[in-house]
Chain A
Amino acid sequence: MQRIGVFVCHCGSNIAATVDVSKVAEMALMEPGVVHAEDYQYMCSEAGQAKIADAIHEKKLTGIVVCSCSPRMHEATFRKAAERAGLNPYMVEIANIREHCSWIHKDMEEATKKAVILMRAAVAKVNLNTPLQPGESRVTKRALIIGGGIAGIQTALDIADAGYEVDIVEKTPSIGGRMSQLDKTFPTLDCSACILTPKMVEASAHEKIKIYTYSEVENVSGFVGDFTVDIRKKARSVDMDKCTGCGVCQEKCPSKKAPSEFNRGLNNRSAIYTPFAQAIPNVPVIDREACIKFKTGKCGICSKVCQAGAIDYEQKDEIITEKYGAIVVATGFDTINLDKYDEYAYSQSKDVITSLELERVMNAAGPTHGHLERLSDGKAPKEMVFIQCVGSRCSDDRGKPYCSKICCMYTAKHAMLIRDKYPDVNVTVFYIDVRTPGKNFDEFYRRAVEQYGVNYIKGQVGKVIPQPNGKLLVQGSDLLDNRQILKEADMVVLATAIEPNPDVRKIATMLTASIDTNNFLTEAHAKLRPVESPTAGIFLSGVCQGPKDIPETVAQAGAAAVKAIGLLAKDKLMTNPCTAHSDELLCNGCSTCENVCPYGAITYEDKEVNDHGIREVRRLAVVNSALCQGCGACTVACPSGAMDLQGFSNRQIIAEVDAICR
């Protein structure tokens, strides 16, 4: 028989205001096995934990029930407290009388009744608990970063500087990401390339960092500390070791009709290309869809002009399999598709562009060599209109419900840069709210208004109508003056909402990392664990977790690196002992459990069993406890009741249900 202690927490007034805590403690003493019960203001405090330790010693307790908040909050706290007092940590059970009871009920009598029932269920379970011993698993001291933008680069540098091996997998031919497409950065207006390219060089030259560009993660298996990842290195058609990066192949390539991804499709690139001049690695790839040699078999000019003999049309995709201890997701973002926003005439006029496209227009290496001009006729604009919140803060089915966060600041930046370089251009910004929290951010926006004379109008634009004379008629609201504005503009710039890179769904599925309804990766705790995924060993860096600007991204990248380093620094990890196991005499080898196991932890073996004197070889399920995460899917799927979960056995669950129904 167990000797159980029940500890009821007031949680200040969080629980005590709705649940009669002393009544719960009093009722606990009537439960089988309970030899001690008390209530206290804050069970999680040092004094509260001391009460538990004292009771373990004095009453020789063998099991503990803490009636408090969710086990997600403090199960670990109380298990540690019990362990320090000499009790096996798996002899502790939590009855969640806060989230499951006091917070959701108003009537004290009813809530107390429910709290007593929850306590009873936990006591019934502890009566059947057995001490469990966690196993150990090894840690591969190498990290994988998915995505080679500023988030991925910074995380990689921070981990590598701590002395661990890091691999970056980047889908495009070069690292650099969105930041490499930007012209200037707020709030200091320094050139994006000037601060990014040194970091790119540092990452590529770092002895601990290996970069796989033009590569994608294909498969992930394993678990925290011991992931096995297949990386598909797409055929570059160029030998990376031989290529000198001279660029002659790109110059001579006769196929120059492929839209440049780097310039957002505003101009074209050759079929053999590096995305931009400072690309790392400075080795081109052949776009096989656009290449004449691949389409017709004739051409081969690049091969002829290449002095290094680096062109290899026969190259094939390569799969590299590597082991990692930690994985950091840094997949970044893209702007949303504007097909549903016909009123802004984005698809009707070349002079309606997104802000990211304007970045390329303003950039010296962009399609207009940095001259601000209309993309339809190359004329210099005189009137420019910026429209904020295009697709952001929408609760309809066209846009995104969240604020994209970066648009207010980059629009102020664009407006200011244009007014500075082209003082005769009038700039009007239609806004709903100007949101500029951040160090030197509001000052930056005010400078656009006060110093540069940017005309900010509170009100959204309803419609942009292309005119026969080539101008754009902008119909908008001025809510503060309560009038409707009709304004002829030469160019319209849309502050288009950002969304997580569409590939993130696929990657999250491979990693079993959870994502929210907007495809942002979910944190383990919104406030206290913001750079960790709920899936152990997976960390989050940059916009894949939520909209953020460069300073925030770099800060978060460092935080994700520290968390990854914290994991890599360990030689061994404790594994969860609550894993499944199969009863050999009951298992009929039907494969149902294998099919439902999301972690691939179940295999089948032919084993000799002694079934009441009958010796025979049977096909039996075997659980790899290192892979098993204890989800319990197999235990409910098993038709013969052979599968059981340690710490959550069928007997324990039934005992809980019985206690609730009593």
Chain B
Amino acid sequence: MSSNKKKQAELIEEISGVNPLKCMKCGKCSATCPSYNEMDIKPHQFVSYVINEDVESLVNSKSLWKCLSCFACVERCPRDVKPGKLIDAARQMVVRQRNNTYLSPDEIPELLDPELPQQLLVSAFRRYRR
């Protein structure tokens, strides 16, 4: 079980390309986050959840879908840790687990659900734009 937790944390690091150990806990990410008040786990805490291999909590958090993917934290992080990329990676992990087949762009409109989180679309497009 613990090895599974470790694998999940490693997967987050792999998808995001972020080394969470570089974080010096300055809090600039949380200071700059426009969705801060909506989040249960705050941006600066994303890092500790990955380090502590508790990706499960991150995946089940409100924050996962409250992050706007505005990347202000990515832009301003002085240590190149980029919490936005970590949460983006957690979202990707969820998406990958749910569905392994990719859609073509023309299939999207009819599938659009008003309940579908906007940021999922944004980050999906960001990731798969060609």
Interchain CB contact under 8 A, B79 and A482:
no
CA distance A485 to B28 in the complex (A): 12
B76 close to A (CB within 8 Å): yes
Residue of B22, B25, B27, B78 near A398 (CB, 8 A) is B78
CA distance A626 to B29 in the complex (A): 59
Stretch at the interface among A217-225, A354-362, A459-467: A459-467
Interface residues of A in 456-504 (CB under 8 A from B): 458-463, 475-479, 482, 484-485
* Chain B residue at minimal CB-CB distance from A457: B27
User: How many A-B pairs with Cβ below 8 Å?
Assistant: 69
Interchain CB contact under 8 A, A393 and B32:
no
**A: contact size bracket:** 20 to 34
Contacts of B22 in A (CB 8 A): 395
Interchain CB contact under 8 A, B31 and A460:
yes
A396 close to B (CB within 8 Å): yes
Contacts of B72 in A (CB 8 A): 462-463
Stretch at the interface among B36-44, B61-69, B94-102: B36-44
Interchain CB contact under 8 A, A460 and B80:
no
* Chain B residue at minimal CB-CB distance from A431: B26
Residue of B27, B33, B42 near A460 (CB, 8 A) is B27
B1 close to A (CB within 8 Å): no
Interchain CB contact under 8 A, A396 and B78:
yes
With A432-B24, A432-B26, A460-B26 as known contacts, state yes or no: A394 contacts B78, CB within 8 Å: yes
Query: Interface size (B, Cβ < 8 Å)?
Result: 21
Interchain CB contact under 8 A, A462 and B28:
yes
A117 close to B (CB within 8 Å): no
CA distance A639 to B77 in the complex (A): 53
**Distance to closest chain A CB from B128 (angstroms):** 27
B1-45 to A contact mask, C-beta < 8 Å, 1/0: 000000000000000000000101111111111001100001010
Interchain CB contact under 8 A, A395 and B80:
yes
Interchain CB contact under 8 A, B24 and A475:
no
A388-421 to B contact mask, C-beta < 8 Å, 1/0: 0100011110110000000000000000000000
A608 close to B (CB within 8 Å): no
CA distance A432 to B28 in the complex (A): 9
Interchain CB contact under 8 A, B30 and A484:
yes
Contacts of B44 in A (CB 8 A): 477, 479
Residue of A393, A458, A462, A482 near B33 (CB, 8 A) is A462
Residue of A343, A398, A484 near B37 (CB, 8 A) is A484
Contacts of A461 in B (CB 8 A): 28, 31
Residue of B31, B37, B77 near A463 (CB, 8 A) is B31
* Chain B residue at minimal CB-CB distance from A474: B31
Contacts of A482 in B (CB 8 A): 42
Residue of A395, A396, A462 near B31 (CB, 8 A) is A462
**Distance to closest chain B CB from A463 (angstroms):** 5
Interchain CB contact under 8 A, A477 and B28:
yes
Residue of A396, A458, A459, A475 near B79 (CB, 8 A) is A396
With A394-B78, A396-B80 as known contacts, state yes or no: A477 contacts B24, CB within 8 Å: no
With A477-B31, A477-B44, A484-B37 as known contacts, state yes or no: A394 contacts B79, CB within 8 Å: yes
Contacts of A459 in B (CB 8 A): 26-27, 30-31
Contacts of B37 in A (CB 8 A): 484
Contacts of A478 in B (CB 8 A): 27
Interchain CB contact under 8 A, B32 and A479:
no
**Distance to closest chain B CB from A326 (angstroms):** 40
Interchain CB contact under 8 A, A343 and B32:
yes
* Chain A residue at minimal CB-CB distance from B37: A484
Contacts of B31 in A (CB 8 A): 459-463, 475-477, 484-485
Contacts of B36 in A (CB 8 A): 484
Contacts of A475 in B (CB 8 A): 31-32
CA distance A415 to B22 in the complex (A): 31
Interface residues of A in 364-393 (CB under 8 A from B): 389, 393
With A343-B32, A482-B42, A484-B36 as known contacts, state yes or no: A477 contacts B78, CB within 8 Å: no
Contacts of B42 in A (CB 8 A): 482
CA distance A343 to B28 in the complex (A): 11
Residue of A396, A458, A462 near B32 (CB, 8 A) is A462
Contacts of A463 in B (CB 8 A): 31-32, 72
CA distance A401 to B72 in the complex (A): 21
**Distance to closest chain B CB from A455 (angstroms):** 16
Interchain CB contact under 8 A, A399 and B28:
no
CA distance A258 to B30 in the complex (A): 42
Interchain CB contact under 8 A, B27 and A393:
no
Contacts of B28 in A (CB 8 A): 460-462, 477
**Distance to closest chain A CB from B73 (angstroms):** 8
Interface residues of B in 73-92 (CB under 8 A from A): 76-80
Interface residues of A in 427-475 (CB under 8 A from B): 432, 458-463, 475
Residue of B25, B29, B33 near A432 (CB, 8 A) is B25
Please report B residues at the A interface, Cβ cutoff 8 Å: 22, 24-33, 36-37, 42, 44, 72, 76-80
- Kindly list 6 other residue pairs between chains A and B, CB separation below 8 angstroms, not including A396-B78, A432-B24: A459-B26, A460-B27, A460-B28, A462-B30, A475-B32, A484-B37
Please report A residues at the B interface, Cβ cutoff 8 Å: 343, 389, 393-396, 398-399, 432, 458-463, 475-479, 482, 484-485
* 5 closest residue pairs by CB, A with B: A462-B32, A462-B31, A477-B27, A460-B28, A459-B27
Can you give 18 contacting A-B residue pairs, CB < 8 Å? A389-B26, A389-B78, A394-B79, A460-B26, A460-B27, A460-B78, A462-B32, A463-B32, A476-B31, A477-B26, A477-B27, A477-B28, A477-B30, A478-B27, A479-B27, A484-B30, A484-B31, A484-B36
